Structure 1
Amino acid sequence: MFAQDQLVVYPAQGVGKVERIETQTVGGTEAEFYFIRILSNNVTLMVPVITASKVLRPLCTKEEGEALLSSLDDRSGFTGYTGQNWNRRYREYSDKLKSGALEDVAYVLKELLLIGKDKELSFGERRLLEQAMGLITLEIAHATDTTQEAVQTQIEEMFADVIAAQEKK
């Protein structure tokens, strides 16, 4: 399914590179594994080839990355901070980040940026925001052949009004 040197996405970890594919004996059973090096932290993961399609996904295309960036600028679906219980929101956002779906990660990023306009984000919310920003920017940077910093700057420019409001708090 995946080839050596291919970029893939591992949920909640981000973009990784298939370093090699080899057979290993684990628990007395031989199995083929992808060795994935996560680019953001250099951690290497062993993912069984047989279950890889349930865990890994290919990197988004350039068109998908550009469309996702454009969708971040659309605030029509956001109704504002509703005062929802932080624990419930935290679980929802954590689940979305773990799903690995780029749209889910974008949802978390946009929601937390916009909630931050109405209230100061808690430590946990800021961590989720940083995680979502890192996941989005790294994948889109690789998909569009640009830098992670350039993608983050583009997102920050879209939300300049929100970021300015947060800095006033």
Structure 2
Amino acid sequence: MFQVGDKVFYPMHGAGIVTAIEEKEFRGELEKYCSITIPSSHMNVMLPVKKASKAGLRSVIDRRTAKRMLEDYYDAEHEPQLPWKQRFSSNMEKIKTGEFEAGLEVLSDLQYRNKEKPLNASEKQMLNNAKRLIVSELSLIKNITESQAEGLLQLPG
């Protein structure tokens, strides 16, 4: 169970802060809701507490884990070229998990491919979305601005 003030990550939306846990009536029944403010999109989300786990809501990762994963990100090996549809599907599944490491894998893969050859519109959008999600979590983990967090994702070369 999350508490007010907890930093959380909501897949496909980004990282946010739990601002309230309150009971609301819905269809004649009282249900507990978790209110989350997501700074990167200036959005407030209300999620039924009993559905939080199924929706993939999780605590943001800790600084030490983030540091280790970023080191792996900089040194990432890239798998052989997959057909576009298979690569897109695989990357979409990784993003949907909401896992930080999976998002970094997508970001690294698409940045690498973009250097080799320009991405198509769908993959450019996926690259931007993956970056937005990772940046939102990094900025909360490290208590830095999104611009500073984006700077941490610059690959050498």
Q: TM-score scaled to structure 2, two decimals?
A: 0.91
Query: Aligned match of 2:128 in 124, 130, 135?
Result: 130
Tell me which amino acid in the other structure corresponds to 2:127.
L
Q: Secondary structure in 2 aligned to 1:37?
A: strand
Letter in structure 2 aligned against 1:4: V
Larger Rg belongs to: 1
Alignment partner, residue 70 of structure 2: 69
Residue 166 of structure 1: aligned partner: none
Do residues 149 (structure 1) and 150 (structure 2) align?
no
- Counterpart residue number, 1:99: 97
1:53 aligns to what SS in structure 2?
A: coil
Structure with greater proportional helix content: 1
Following TM superposition, by how much is the alpha carbon of 1:120 offset from its aligned partner in structure 2, in angstroms?
Answer: 1.0
Instruction: Give the aligned length.
Output: 156
Question: Quick check: 1:72–1:110 contact (8 Å CA) kept in 2?
Answer: yes
Query: Aligned ranges for residues 39-54 of structure 1 at < 5 Å?
Result: 39-54=39-54
Amino-acid identity (%): 28
- Match for residue 57 of structure 1? 58
Query: In 2, Cα distance between the equivalents of 1:107 and 1:94?
Result: 11
Q: Secondary structure at the match of 1:33?
A: strand
TM-score, normalised by the number of residues in structure 1: 0.85
Q: Look up the SS of the partner of 2:42 in the other structure.
A: coil
Checking the alignment, whether the CA contact within 8 Å between 1:65 and 1:144 is kept in structure 2 is: no
Q: Where does the alignment leave 5 or more consecutive residues of structure 2 unmatched?
A: none
Q: Which residue of 2 aligns with 1:139?
A: 137
Across the aligned residues of Structure 1 and Structure 2, the Cα RMSD in angstroms comes to: 1.5
The CA deviation string for residues 37-57 of structure 1, in whole angstroms up to 9 with x for no partner, is: 222112222211122233210
Secondary structure of the residue that 1:72 maps to in structure 2? helix
C-alpha distance after superposition, 1:8-57 (max 9, x if no partner): 10001111121211111112221111011222112222211122233210
CA distance in 2 between partners of 1:154 and 1:6 (Å)? 23
What is residue 31 of structure 2 aligned with on the other side?
Answer: 31
